[in-house]
A and B are shown apart, each in its own frame.
Chain A
Amino acid sequence: MPTAESVTPTSDTVTAELEPVFHVCGLARIYGEGEAAVTALAGVDFDLFAGELIVLLGASGSGKSTLLNQLGGLDSPTRGTLHYRGWDLGGADEPGLTQFRRNAVGFVFQAYNLIPSLTARENVALIAEIARDPMTPEEALHLVGLGERMDHFPAQLSGGEQQRVAIARAIAKRPEVLLCDEPTGALDVRTGITVLEAIEHINRELGTLSVIITHNAIIADMAGRVFTLSDGRLVNVRANTHRAPVRTLAW
């Protein structure tokens, strides 16, 4: 697997000469067979580059989660090309996918998915057991603005705090890619903003390629590029000339 390059382009500097992190071509995912077959992704093409912040929009059932899961190595495509830095991620076997997730990807879900029996610090420290060059849990938690409350169990934390712990855990391994599926879906506006700020901060500080799924079009303003999916197809790609700071968003 290729190592992460040190180049950290912003959306403004994206050029064709740069090697993409993800190269996606004709990507399709069909669930089931025959009569019952459901086409979740009907062939999408795009490239994603290092340091970008992408927002994925689309109606419910349009295939956003399916696409994100393909990028994160949680699921394999039915058809099409999916390359991660020139490596055939779409055709990888189970151990290959596990290594990919272990070293290259951080996930954040709507349901925070923290381990209830571990404290915030320990949830992050868990990564240290498997990652090659992890941050200390304290460092990761500071990055998401959770310096205190490190020794609380998930049940003792608010939703926003739990989600920030989840982000800290996702980035503690210094992943190349951060994939967030409706990270603010279960949160109120104010808490949602703190969470998005954490993601934005990481994208800027560490240059982590971040993909955020949301139903909320306003959030799209923080992105460099906004992808819109409909019925499993990529119907629109919009590049923001100006990335709005999260703080200024309101919904």
Chain B
Amino acid sequence: MSILDRKLLRDLRALKSQALAVALVMACGLAMMIVTRSLILSLTTTRDTYYERYRFAQVFARLKRAPNFVRAQLAAIPGVATVQSGIAIQVTLDVPGLAEPAVGLLNSLPEHGAPVLNLPYLRAGRLPQSHTARTELAVSEAFADAHGLKPGDTLSAVLNGRKEFFQLSGISLSPEFVFEAPPGAALPDNKTYGVFWAPYKELATAFQLYGAFNNVALTLAPGASEGAVIAAVDRIIAPYGGRGTFGRENHPSHRRLDDEIRVLQGLSIAYPVVFLSVAAFMVNSVMSRQVALQREQIAMLKACGFSNAQVGRHYFKFSLAIVVVGVALGTAGGIILGGKLVAMYHLFFRFPQLAFVLDTHVLVLAAAVSSLAAFIGVAGAVRRAVRLPPAEAMRPEAPASYRPAFIERFRAAHWFSASFRMALRNIQRRPVRSALTCLALALATGIMIVPNAFRDGVAYVLDFQWDVVQRQTATLSLVEPQAARAIADFRHLPGVELAEPFRYVPIELRSGPIVRRMNLQGLSAHATLSRVIDARPQQLTLPERGVVISAKLADVLRVKPGDFLIVHTLEGEERDVTVPLAGLADDFAGIAAYMEIHAVNRLMLEGDRINGAHLVVTAAKWSEFLHAVKNTPRAAGCVIKASIREGFRQTTAQSIGLLQKMYMMFAVIVAFGIIYNSARISLSERARELATLRVLGFTRGEVGAVLVGELVLLTIVALPFGLALGSAFARGILSVVNTETVRLPLVLTPANYAFAVLVVAVASALSALFAARKLANIDLVSALKALD
């Protein structure tokens, strides 16, 4: 080891806590980078191998009914490699232990042989078989987990108006349903929506589809044009009630997963840039101080004949040591955080196995960018060091010159104490450093705002959904749509003060090539319970004609009020109806379509029919009401608002809670690191001054106050600035995150601001105290030794 390297080690040991503070901030950025890049890698590789092994199709089409021979026509389209046709149909389920009816999407398994595309992955049990005593179903894992279902359990479903019992043969997953949510929903609701697999024969027989199919998936031959194949499929299935053909980019599960990866990509750049910039600044301040302290040593080295490059390299190595520690800590942190986040993804995305895969390339990248940050940080300081002519450097640095601070021009300045003046003038003497310290503290405050803005946004959406939009206490639904007279029965239930009917029809909404599935909600024009709210936000009166859809859905379908849309009904007699777009609803969760209830009845070519009613029930008669509902045979289910609300709150709290902890840790590390580093640097620069104060008889506490006064001022300035910055972050991130499936409003509350301020202020105060402990170590005698 060269003598210079030995010096390096000793210098490092002397600066170990400061070096650690910088390394920690750097580690935050690197951990974020490693986590996000690794999650992207984990998700994409898991997805790609899953898609490939379980043969996820590339083009999908739904139709009303086509005889099986059409399959051969589809297979003959140039560019089509494999075709799988079958039945996919939505049914109402009665799940033991669940008050409300759940929705099941039943998919057929081929009558002969194994599936060739979208193969189910069996987690437990076996695939359902035909000709068993009781019809069998395989259930998706998410739904099974939500209800504690196991192979062997039974379940009933209404198939084409008849209630039938099924036995669960197994639990499985499918590349088609990685994200398993009802059409249009933002968050998976695994209690009320599940995917199932049934033998073709049973399903086809129940729906009078034997010898035909209503769902087709296909893969493309290498080099085939997806657009051309989609057009050809559309042409062939059109006579059979074709309802649009789409590629993977419009596949709901695939798209949701893609959205997630896109968000991760954004975060994988934004956060590391922020944290590494702060780390670069910290490296710069530490190294500048180090170079200033070692002026004479640098001069001596140069006088002895060391080259500028050698001296420069020496100091650069110093910061590389910080990088090494930062990369090590960042990698460890990234792996730990990654493991936790992957577990959180399991709530949303179901894969046979989703393991955290460390992206090893990103480690190289992490080392490279943090070295770059360190290099940028150290470059200025080292340039100053090597430029110093040896003779000049041998002399001690000229005394710092000061001016009265700007604000001392005001009259009130007369009352400033000497220590306050010292703080002001120190800030003013190093404007750039003060501004950057302030900025870093503002960043720490700002990043605290983001997760809490998410939390408040979710809370707002839930409140909006359940206090403004859905104002009922309970919703009763009927087994089957019935004549509107049924509502009279509901009105007579104990405690019911108000009952408003609704009609839900599953539909597909189409505009040109773009298709989305959802429920068309038929509501009274002047409903007071379940309401449609516009952007103002005020209740929107549903017009006699036309449909009202989510503003975001209008964006997706590229339509505006006055344009026409095709509504394809998926209940009863399936048909296409062209309706005008009458208005836009401002809602948050997923996508929705609303229509005046009688207009829905006309569209369905039916009389006054309803699916159920929204009710207001007095609290006093609540238990009587529940008891009566259980004995109402026609009521398929009763949704109690308060319990759903609680369920949502818990799921979101779980995932946001993790993010909150993560961001809080980052904020604390940055605030702590910046303050500690600044305090240590002032302590070093002002050792003589502080020792003088001690000699004059100032107590350690009083001198500590002088030391941190400057930082307190900077923190006070940084906090409001940080709140503004955090609000801007939250706005920016939301605009990236907001997609068709997930939308959040920007909600910034005083509590959020107060918490961010509190955390940063406490972290700063503790770190200042921690640094001020070093005051005890100042050796008064040696600090005051005459300048040589």
- Which A residues are closer than 8 A to B by beta carbons? 65, 69, 72, 74-75, 94-95, 98-103, 105, 107, 109-111, 113-119, 122, 125-127, 129-131, 153-156, 169, 173, 181-182, 185-186
Contact = CB atoms under 8 A, between A and B. Distances in A.
Contacts of A169: 696
Contacts of A156: 401
B786 A117 contact: no
Instruction: Give the interface SS of chain B, mostly helix, strand, loop or mixed.
Output: helix
A171 to B, nearest CB: 12
B699 A182 contact: no
B114 interface: no
A217 B670 CA distance: 57
Contacts of A122: 418, 421
Given A117-B425, A122-B418, A98 B697 contact: yes
Interface string B386-400: 000000000000111
B689 A116 contact: yes
Interface in B762-788: 780-781, 784-787
Interface residues of B, number: 34
Given A99-B697, A102-B696, A113 B417 contact: no
B422 interface: yes
Contacts, number: 101
A103 to B, nearest CB: 7
A123 to B, nearest CB: 8
Contacts of B422: 115, 117-118
Contacts of A99: 697
Q: Which 4 A-B pairs have the closest CB atoms?
A: A102-B697, A155-B401, A110-B786, A101-B697
B424 to A, nearest CB: 9
A98 B700 contact: yes
B306 interface: no
Interface of B: 398-404, 417-419, 421-422, 425-426, 429, 688-689, 691-700, 702, 780-781, 784-787
A186 B418 contact: no
A113 B699 CA distance: 18
Contacts of A94: 700
Contacts of B702: 130
Contacts of B695: 72, 74, 101, 107, 113
28 contacts: A65-B781, A75-B780, A75-B781, A95-B699, A101-B694, A101-B696, A102-B696, A107-B695, A109-B786, A111-B785, A113-B691, A115-B418, A115-B693, A116-B400, A116-B401, A116-B689, A117-B421, A117-B422, A117-B429, A118-B402, A118-B421, A126-B696, A130-B702, A131-B697, A154-B399, A155-B399, A155-B402, A156-B401
A105 B787 CA distance: 23
Contact of A115 (B404, B689, B694, B786): B689
Contact of B692 (A69, A105, A113): A113
Contacts of A116: 399-402, 689
A93 B225 CA distance: 87
A113 B421 CA distance: 18
Contact of A74 (B399, B688, B780): B780
Contacts of A107: 695-696
B401 A130 contact: no
B400 A155 contact: yes
A60 to B, nearest CB: 12
Given A130-B698, A131-B697, A169-B696, 19 more contacts: A94-B700, A98-B700, A101-B695, A101-B696, A101-B697, A102-B698, A102-B699, A116-B400, A117-B400, A118-B402, A118-B421, A126-B418, A129-B418, A153-B403, A155-B398, A155-B400, A155-B402, A173-B697, A186-B787
Contacts of B404: 119
A115 to B, nearest CB: 5
B425 A182 contact: no
- Name, among A95, A109, A182, the residue most crowded by chain B CB atoms within 10 Å (CB to CB): A109
A125 B418 contact: yes
B781 A115 contact: no
B727 to A, nearest CB: 35
B698 A117 contact: no
Contacts of B781: 65, 69, 74-75
A74 to B, nearest CB: 5
A94 B699 CA distance: 9
Nearest to B710: A117
A186 to B, nearest CB: 7
B696 A130 contact: yes
A201 B785 CA distance: 26
A178 B397 CA distance: 29
Contacts of B403: 153
